[in-house]
A and B are shown apart, each in its own frame.
Chain A
Amino acid sequence: MAKSLGPVKRKFSPWTDPSATPFIRFENITKRYGDFIAVDNLTLDIYEREFFSLLGPSGCGKTTLMRMLAGFEEPTSGRILLQGRDLSGTPPYKRPTNMMFQSYALFPHMTVEKNIAFGLEQDGLPKPEIRARVEEMLKLVKLEAFARRKPAQLSGGQRQRVALARSLAKRPKVLLLDEPLGALDRKLREETQFELMDIQHTLGLTFLIVTHDQEEAMTVSDRIAVMDKGIVVQVATPAEIYEGPNSRYVAEFIGDINILECALTENAGVCLHEGHPPVVRLESDGLSIAVEQECPAAVGDRVAFAIRPEKVRISLDPPAAAETNTAHGEVWDIGYLGDFSVFLVKLEDGRVLRAAQANVSRLVDRPITFGDMVWLTWPLDAGLVLTR
C-alpha cells in the first residue's frame, strides 16, 4: 500500500527547554480506592504536540491516570492542569480532551458517519459543517466507502479506525488512547502505529497513549513514562530509556537485558578515553568488569551490572584487545529469530549471559553451535551500572 508521508519530521524536545511551559501537568496526584493506592503522589509534565506514552504492566496506575485526565475519575489529592487551567471538578463532557477506548466503544445503533458526527452534534455545529468534518475524518482514516455501515458490519481494524476518527473529529487539545492497538494482529498493528504517528504529526495534536506493549511505546512516542505501582520510575525518550535505564525495573521491562550482581571495587578511577567518563570497576564472582560511567555509588556497595544482549560480542577466538571486558563460557542454547540469533552462554560458575548477533549473511548453518566454548566481549561503554 502506497502511503503519502506527512511533512518531514524535525527534532522535537521541548522538555529540555527550561523556559517551556508544560501543556498538561499532573501535580502531586494521588488516587486511592479504599486501601489500594492506584496512583501515588505522581508529578508529570507533558508538552504540546508531544506523543507521550504511559507504559507499565497492568495495575501500575497508567489507565487510572488517563481516566483522571479524561474526567472519569477524580484524584484523591493533587491537581491536573491543562494549559495552566485546573481541571478539578470539570465533568468529562466539558473537558477539551477526547479518548479512544480500548474496546473502541462504538455506538452499535449508529452508522459509522453518525458515530463520527456524535461529538460534533453535541457542540451544536451547523449541519453542513458537521457533514464536511465527518467526510474529512472518513478520508483521514480511509473509510469513505463504509460511512453507512453499522459497527457490527466492520472488521476489527476498520472499527479501530472509526474509533480513531470519532475521537479526532472534535479536534481535541489532547487525544487519549487507551491500548489503542491491543486488539489488532501484529502486522496491522505495526502499520497502524506509523499511521497514528503520521496523523498526530499532520494534525499537530498532543497524544497521550496508555500501553503495556513496550515495542509500541518505543515506536510511536516522543517520550515514555515507565510506571510501576502508581509511581513514574523514569521519563525519557525511547532511546534514553533503552540505552540508559535508571533502574533494574526499567531495564528489565524494556527489551532484553543481562543483569549481574556486583560489588563496586573502584569508582571515578582513571579516564581511559578523552571525553569519556572515568572508569568504574566491578567484581562479580570472579568476573572483573570495567564501565565508563558516572556512578553515585561508593566502593563496597552492592550494585548491578546491566548489558543488552546485542552489545555483547560472541566469538570462538580469544579477544586481542586488552581494553575490553571478557567472559568465557559454553554455548548452552541458541534462539534463532530470523533477523537475530540469541546465544545463551553458560559461564564457568553456572551463570548464563545472553549475546545476540545479527544474522548478516544467508547461512543456514551458523559457525557457532551448541557446546562450543566461546568468548564474550564488550567494550567499556556498552554496559551500565545500576544502583537501584
Chain B
Amino acid sequence: MKPSRFDSTVLTLCFAFLYIPIIILVIYSFNASKLVTVWGGFSLEWYRVMWSNEGLMDAAWVTARVGVLSATLGTVLGTLAALALNRFPRFPGRMAFTGMIYAPLVMPEVITGLSLLLLFVAMNVDRGFWTVTIAHTTFTMCYVAIIVQSRLLTFDRSLEEAALDLGCPPVKTFFRITLPLILPAIVSGWMLAFTLSLDDLVIASFTTGPGATTLPIKIYSQVRLGVTPEINAVCTILIGLVTIGVIIASITTKRNEARRIRDEHAAIRGAG
C-alpha cells in the first residue's frame, strides 16, 4: 500500500520531534564559535577543550567504572534472583520476593534515591564511589532479573535432566548447559544495566559524594552555569557510543536470524 500524504507527514513530524534536538546538539559540537547558538564555522576545538577538561574526564572515568561494576554485580544478582524465582515455584516469602524484584521498576527514582540516601546516612557510610555503585546495582539487578526470567520461562528443563542423566553433576551442568544457553539474555541484561547506570542522574545525585561525580551529574551542573560547546562534544560522543552499540546489537540479531533460517533449510534438505 502506498503511504498517503497524511501518513508521511505524521512520520516526518514524529522523526523531527525526536531527532532535531539531537541533530542540533551534534552540529553545534563542531561549532568554532564560543556562542552556542551562533554558527562560526566547522572546528574540532571543543573536542580538544573537552579532552583537556580534567573535571569532565574524571567524571567520565567514574561513570565508566560505576557502570561496569554495578552492571556486573547487578547481572550476577539479577540472574540468581531469576533462577530462584524460576526454579523454586513454592518457597516461603515468594510473593514478597517477586513483588520486591519488580518494585524498583515502578518506584519513582526520587524515592529510590532518597531511601538509599537515608540508609547510607543511617549506617553512617561515607558517600562516594561505592555508594553510587551499590545504588546502581540495586536498581539494575531488577531489570536483569526480568530479562533472564523471561528467557528461563522458555528454557527446556529436560536439557538439564539429560546432562544429569549422562553423569554430569548439578553445578557442572549449570556451567556447561544452562549458562551457555541463557547467556544471550544475561549479556543483554548486562548491556541494559550498563546503559541505565550510564545515564542515571537522580539516584546518583542522591547517593554520591565528593570525589565521585558521575558524568550526568557533571554535565547537569555545568549546564546550570550555561551550555558550553564542550558539553555538546561530550554528548555527541555518548550518542555515538550508544548508536554503535545499538547497531552492533541489531546486526548480531539479524545474523543469528539468518543463520537460523539457513539451518532450517539445511535440515529440510538433509531430511530427504
Contact = CB atoms under 8 A, between A and B. Distances in A.
Interface of A: 70-72, 91-94, 97-99, 101-103, 105-109, 118-119, 122-123, 146, 149-150, 152-158, 166-167, 170
17 contacts: A72-B161, A72-B164, A93-B165, A99-B161, A101-B158, A101-B162, A102-B158, A105-B161, A106-B162, A107-B162, A109-B180, A122-B167, A152-B267, A155-B267, A156-B271, A166-B166, A167-B166
Interface in B157-171: 158-159, 161-170
A98 B164 CA distance: 10
Given A93-B168, A109-B181, A118 B156 contact: no
Contact of A170 (B166, B169, B263, B271): B166
B96 interface: no
Interface size of B as a range: 20 to 34
Interface in B241-270: 260, 263-264, 266-268, 270
B163 A118 contact: yes
A23 B161 CA distance: 24
B177 interface: yes
Given A93-B168, A170-B167, A153 B177 contact: no
A166 B170 CA distance: 19
Interface of B: 156, 158-159, 161-170, 177, 180-181, 260, 263-264, 266-268, 270-271
B162 A157 contact: no
B263 A152 contact: yes
A154 B166 contact: no
Given A70-B161, A108-B181, 9 more contacts: A70-B165, A71-B165, A91-B164, A91-B169, A106-B162, A118-B163, A123-B167, A152-B260, A157-B271
Contact of A105 (B159, B170, B268, B271): B159
A153 B265 CA distance: 8
A92 B161 contact: yes
A158 B271 contact: yes
Contacts, number: 83
Given A105-B158, A105-B159, A118 B168 contact: yes
Contact of A92 (B158, B165, B266, B270): B165
A166 B162 CA distance: 10
A155 B270 contact: yes
Contact of A122 (B156, B166, B271): B166
A302 to B, nearest CB: 46
B164 A92 contact: yes
A364 to B, nearest CB: 35
A119 B167 contact: yes
B267 A154 contact: yes
Contacts of A146: 270
Of the listed residues A102, A146, A150, the one surrounded by the most CB atoms of chain B closer than 10 A to its CB is: A150
B161 A101 contact: yes
Nearest to A108: B181
Nearest to B160: A105
Contacts of A118: 163, 166, 168
A154 B264 CA distance: 8
A122 B170 CA distance: 12
B268 A155 contact: yes
B156 to A, nearest CB: 6
Given A118-B163, A122-B168, A107 B177 contact: yes
B161 A153 contact: no
A97 B164 CA distance: 11
B168 A153 contact: no
A45 B162 CA distance: 25
A278 B177 CA distance: 64
B181 A154 contact: no
A123 B167 CA distance: 7
Contacts of A101: 158, 161-162
B267 A93 contact: no
A179 to B, nearest CB: 12
B128 to A, nearest CB: 42
Nearest to B180: A109
Contacts of B266: 149, 153
A153 B270 contact: yes
Given A103-B156, A152-B260, A93 B177 contact: no
A61 B267 CA distance: 35
Contacts of A93: 164-170
A106 B163 CA distance: 10
A27 to B, nearest CB: 23
Given A93-B167, A119-B166, A150-B263, A155 B161 contact: no
Given A101-B158, A103-B156, A105-B159, A153 B165 contact: no
